[in-house]
């Protein structure tokens, strides 16, 4: 199928879906993928490298028209749409698409596959902060992941405040992202994070899981791994 197009419309999508199915690894692999990802969507197990190549080709043309059609028939579709959204150069435009995408997502993998790049550090942080208070589970996960992928030393006090705002968070995939964020904070801002540990409002699950992740990390010294045990709840 020709993927480099100057124009996409809804009549192209059935052919595109048929093309994607031809790239999949079969029903058994699809069922395995569905169990791992935990999505309600069908899974067709298209290899990651193949997905990358499909995205690369679509991006050579008018990819935003493709995104505007929001093909969402299976898990592979969501990955392709997400990766294309991340290629939007105007961050203000990208934000609008990311918000809609995160609200449509129903699984961790659709969120974690996003690689968001922008020189607008202030806008990036503010958008992540807004997502962290979004009512949709995977919007909040996206906000947290955006924070730990681009920790800003100057924003650490505010980052800790955001983390404390999740004191009563009940969603597993949000709390797991928080644990990763805590681990990244400790690794990159050890002193500030140790101070935060003295007053933090993180739930027992998040703080203990975060400490566990630090203890599993090769980036944390043996001495610090022992030190962190004092802060378990």
> pLDDT tens-digit profile of 80-139?
999 999 999 999 999 999 999 999 999 999 999 999 999 999 999 999 999 999 999 999
Taking only the tens place, the pLDDT of each residue in 146-201 is 999 989 889 999 999 999 999 999 999 999 999 999 999 999 999 999 999 999 99
Per-residue pLDDT, averaged over 209-221, amounts to 95
Question: For residue 169, is it left (φ>0), alpha (ψ between -120 and 50) or beta?
Answer: beta
Q: What is the pLDDT of residue 152?
A: 86
Task: Please say whether the beta carbons of 180 and 213 come within 8 A.
Answer: yes
What percentage of the chain has pLDDT greater than the value 70?
Answer: 100
C-alpha radius of gyration, the chain, whole number:
20
Instruction: For residue 111, give Cα distances in angstroms to 102, 124, 148.
Output: 7, 16, 14
Contacts of 112 (CB under 8 A, 6+ apart): 145
- For the question of whether the overall pTM of this predicted structure is more than 0.85, the answer is yes
**Structural domains of the chain sorted by starting position, each given as residue range(s) with its CATH number in brackets:** 1-118 (no CATH), 120-233 (1.25.40.290)
Q: What is the DSSP letter of 60?
A: T
Task: Please say whether the beta carbons of 63 and 87 come within 8 A.
Answer: yes
Grade residue 45 by pLDDT with cuts at 50, 70 and 90: very high
Backbone angles phi, psi at 78, to 5 degrees: -65, -40
Contacts of 106 (CB under 8 A, 6+ apart): 39, 40, 41, 138
Per-residue pLDDT, averaged over 205-210, amounts to 96
Helix 121-132, helix 91-104: angle, nearest 10: 20
Q: What is the pLDDT of residue 153?
A: 87
């Amino acid at each position: 199928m020709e993927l480099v197009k100057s124009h996409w419309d809804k009549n192209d999508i059935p052919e595109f879906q048929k093309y994607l199915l031809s790239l999949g690894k079969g029903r058994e692999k699809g069922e395995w993928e569905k169990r791992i990802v935990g999505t309600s969507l069908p899974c067709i197990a298209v290899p990651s490298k193949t997905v990358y190549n499909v995205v690369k080709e679509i991006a050579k043309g008018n990819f935003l028209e493709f995104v505007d059609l929001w093909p969402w028939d299976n898990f592979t579709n969501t990955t392709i749409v997400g990766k294309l959204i991340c290629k939007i150069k105007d961050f203000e435009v990208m934000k609008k698409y990311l918000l809609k995408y995160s609200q449509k997502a129903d699984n961790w993998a659709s969120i974690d596959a996003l690689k968001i790049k922008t020189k607008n550090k202030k806008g990036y942080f503010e958008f992540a902060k807004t997502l962290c208070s979004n009512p949709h589970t995977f919007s909040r996960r996206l906000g947290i992941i955006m924070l730990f992928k681009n920790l800003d030393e100057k924003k650490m006090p505010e980052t800790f405040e955001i983390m404390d705002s999740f004191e009563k968070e009940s969603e597993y995939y949000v709390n797991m992202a928080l644990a990763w964020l805590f681990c990244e904070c400790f690794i990159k801002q050890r002193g500030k994070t140790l101070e935060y540990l003295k007053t933090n409002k993180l739930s027992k699950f998040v703080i203990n899981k975060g400490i566990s992740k630090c203890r599993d990390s090769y980036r944390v010294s043996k001495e610090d791994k022992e030190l962190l045990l004092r802060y378990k709840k």
